[in-house]
A = this chain, B = another copy of it.
Amino acid sequence: MNIGTASEKSGLPAKTIRYYEEIGLLKADRAGNGYRDYSMSDVHRLRFLQRSRAFGFSVEECRQLLSLYGDSERESADVKAIATTKLGEIDRKLAELTEFRNTLRHLADHCLGNNLPDCPIIDGLSGKSAVQ
């Protein structure tokens, strides 16, 4: 499939897909006319990249994560270690994001909608994590 279709299916702009190829993240086959040609397998990797990036992993981390897709020369144990590390990071992200959501919810529910410029709840909430 062409890059436009791969873009649609993966959620990544065509520009970004070309950029990823340029930096060696995911190289595509070429059709006879010079157009890039993507398989469903490529689309899965692209979608995986889209999510990894969206969740704050750097491109270099994504390069490691991609080895989970078995397209690298890495040792299986090596790849497993990477996955385990990243899983820990994701769990931490999830916990922090949940806490952040609660902060925002409190702010919206208790500190807005009236005309109080200084809400006492705000400092308690936002400071909680800072004072560790």
Spell out A's residues near B (CB within 8 Å). 9-11, 40-41, 43-45, 47-48, 51-52, 54-56, 65, 68-70, 76-77, 79-80, 83-84, 86-87, 90-91, 93-94, 96-98, 100-101, 103-105, 107-108, 111-119, 122-123, 126-127, 129-131
Contact = CB atoms under 8 A, between A and B. Distances in A.
Contacts of A83: 104, 107-108, 112
B44 A119 contact: no
Q: Which of A68, A86, A117 gathers the greatest number of chain B CB atoms within 10 Å?
A: A68
Contact of A51 (B11, B69, B96, B111): B96
Contacts of A130: 9-11, 43-44, 47
Helix, strand, loop or mixed for chain A's interface? helix
Nearest to A74: B112
Contacts of A86: 104
B101 A43 contact: no
Q: Which of A83, A98, A116 gathers the greatest number of chain B CB atoms within 10 Å?
A: A83
A40 to B, nearest CB: 7
Given A80-B108, A87-B108, A111-B68, A129 B94 contact: no
